[in-house]
Amino acid sequence: MQADSLFELESEKSFLGSLLLKGADNLIDIPLVPEDFYQDTNRRIYKAVLDLVDKKIAIDPVSVLNFLKENSLLKDPEREYDYIYSLYKDSVVSHPLGYYAERIKRLSERRRYSKLLTSALELIQKEPGENESVFNQIEQSLTEVSRSADVKGLMPVSQDKAALSEYIKEIMESRGQVKGLRTNFTQFDEMTSGLKEYEMMVLAARPGNGKTTLALNIASNVALIHNRPVVIFSLEMSRMELLLKLVCSYAQVESNKLKRSEVTKSDAPKLIEAIIKVTSSPIYIDDSGALSVDDFKGRIRKLLTNESLGLIIVDYLQLMNDPKSRDGGRQQEVSSISRALKQMAKEAKCPVIALSQMNRSIEQRSKDQRPQLADLRESGAIEQDADIVTFIYRGEKGKDEEEDPRMKGMAEIIIAKNRSGPTGSFPLAFRPELSRFDNV
């Protein structure tokens, strides 16, 4: 594409001419900023228009010229006087204001992209750092430009009538059915209506209570049953350990028996089937350990070029790092990490499940040790960013089992925060030897 095809001066002149002729009553629907105009004079004229609208002053050639003069924005007064009056008298305005605005905006975005690509080429040629760091910088810049292209700015709600009607119609027709991504844990799906594409869910439990197992069970259900791509970042367990859990869970074979080579003849075909099923599923695993926010974003964006993702899992949040915010202390770093996970849910258009540690203070409570939101480690930012906070509580590990033998082999799943639905709890059967949670 030629450089001169990245602007249309006639569209800019017709847009400004329309404002000078007809006023700016329809400007609320227009998401343009002065920087979207290619010609400097047009940028200054449009800035004057916006400021006059803000001051509730009518738009015409005189008010615009006075504003430019009073604010020392005229660079060539005689020529620009003539130019503004020519816009008023000679501009051909044969289309609605939105038509010209759309063309101006589209070309502005292309100029930004072109400039960014040029900078990216210079960075590739001159930056001495590691490839992944360079590529992450470029990918982040490209993503920010693409995201800004989707921003509509302030829009009147009158434009939402059709979309709102359709959304309400879908809700009414669904009759309480699960609309989001199914985890196949029945009561969880009923309470949350499934995981939504913009949601971040925090899953927390004390060590040994099965948070990795539950996350892997959800991943397995999403990938194997619903055939949706799942990304798993494991900062603690190795790739082979995760695969072993997935296979044993699917085959319902005890992992310890397998590790001790004590599997029976009847177990062998189940394991073979599980291996085939798991390794043919759309699951991606990253067990590289130390994971920075930029690494996380870069790897997801790279995958998004070829895949539409169903779910992202991070095991676990506190092991991630963000060198850019580290100087502000651990609380600020965790806040930055939590915010990045939430932003990625929106960018990737799929839910993110972040596993989280809990404060040790929970173990010091003499009575009810059921987890609470305050028990999340560095809880402030995590609780704020999360759409759903889920805890696993295993009564059999404490006094509850002695008081109620029915708790043996059971776990209580507590939904402590649910931005778009009810909170509450429900039981699941827990079989750690099979790396499985099951509905009851």
Looking at 122-131, 225-234, 369-378, 383-392, which range is the least confident one?
A: 122-131
Using alpha carbons, select from 428, 440, 439, 369 the residue that is nearest to residue 184.
439
CA angle 355, 184, 181 (to 5 degrees): 70
In the chain, domain spans: 1-152, 178-439
pLDDT reading at 265 higher than 80: yes
- Mean of the pLDDT values across residues 30-37? 82
CA angle 328, 333, 337 (to 5 degrees): 150
What does each C-alpha distance from 328 to 322, 338, 386 come to in angstroms?
11, 15, 22
> Who wins on pLDDT, 115 or 411?
411
324: confidence class by pLDDT, cuts 50, 70, 90: confident
> Who wins on pLDDT, 418 or 337?
418
CA 213 – CA 250 distance, rounded (Å): 12
Superfamily per CATH, domain 1-152: DNAb Helicase; Chain A (1.10.860.10)
437: confidence class by pLDDT, cuts 50, 70, 90: very high
Predicted confidence at residue 218, as pLDDT, reads: 94
Which of 187-196, 256-265, 282-291 is the most confident on average? Answer: 187-196
Residue with tokens 């969880």: 188
pLDDT reading at 133 higher than 70: no
pLDDT reading at 368 higher than 70: no
Predicted confidence at residue 143, as pLDDT, reads: 62
State phi, psi for 175 to the nearest 5 degrees.
50, 50
pLDDT reading at 51 higher than 70: yes
147: confidence class by pLDDT, cuts 50, 70, 90: low
**Percent with pLDDT over 90 in the chain:** 16
Query: Which CATH number is 178-439 given?
Result: 3.40.50.300
Strand partners, 414: 391, 425
pLDDT reading at 97 higher than 90: no
Contact yes or no for 355/313 (Cβ under 8 A): yes
Predicted confidence at residue 377, as pLDDT, reads: 66
What does each C-alpha distance from 330 to 322, 357, 385 come to in angstroms?
10, 14, 17
Predicted confidence at residue 282, as pLDDT, reads: 92
Contact yes or no for 397/388 (Cβ under 8 A): no
How far the first Cα of the chain sits from its last, in Å, is: 61
CA 352 – CA 348 distance, rounded (Å): 9
CA 299 – CA 394 distance, rounded (Å): 35
Using alpha carbons, select from 394, 388, 392, 391 the residue that is nearest to residue 417.
388
> Who wins on pLDDT, 227 or 321?
227
- Mean of the pLDDT values across residues 30-52? 85
Predicted confidence at residue 313, as pLDDT, reads: 93
pLDDT reading at 329 higher than 80: no
pLDDT reading at 167 higher than 70: no
Condensed to tens digits (0 to 9), the pLDDT of residues 209-264 reads: 889 999 999 999 999 999 999 999 988 888 888 898 998 899 888 888 787 787 78
HSE (CB half, 13 Å, CA atoms) of 67? 21
pLDDT reading at 379 higher than 80: no
**Percent with pLDDT over 70 in the chain:** 82
pLDDT reading at 351 higher than 90: yes
Q: How does DSSP assign 113-150, residue by residue?
A: HHHHHHHHHHHHHH--S-HHHHHHHHHHHHHHHHHHHH
pLDDT reading at 153 higher than 70: no
Which of 149-163, 185-199, 252-266 is the most confident on average? Answer: 185-199
Looking at 37-46, 322-331, 399-408, which range is the least confident one?
A: 399-408
> Who wins on pLDDT, 148 or 100?
100
Predicted confidence at residue 129, as pLDDT, reads: 66
pLDDT reading at 1 higher than 50: no
305: confidence class by pLDDT, cuts 50, 70, 90: confident
pLDDT reading at 202 higher than 70: yes
Beta strands in 242-290 (DSSP E): 283-286
Predicted confidence at residue 228, as pLDDT, reads: 92
pLDDT reading at 57 higher than 90: no
Which of 123-127, 161-165, 242-246 is the most confident on average? Answer: 242-246
Mean pLDDT of the residues in the chain? 81
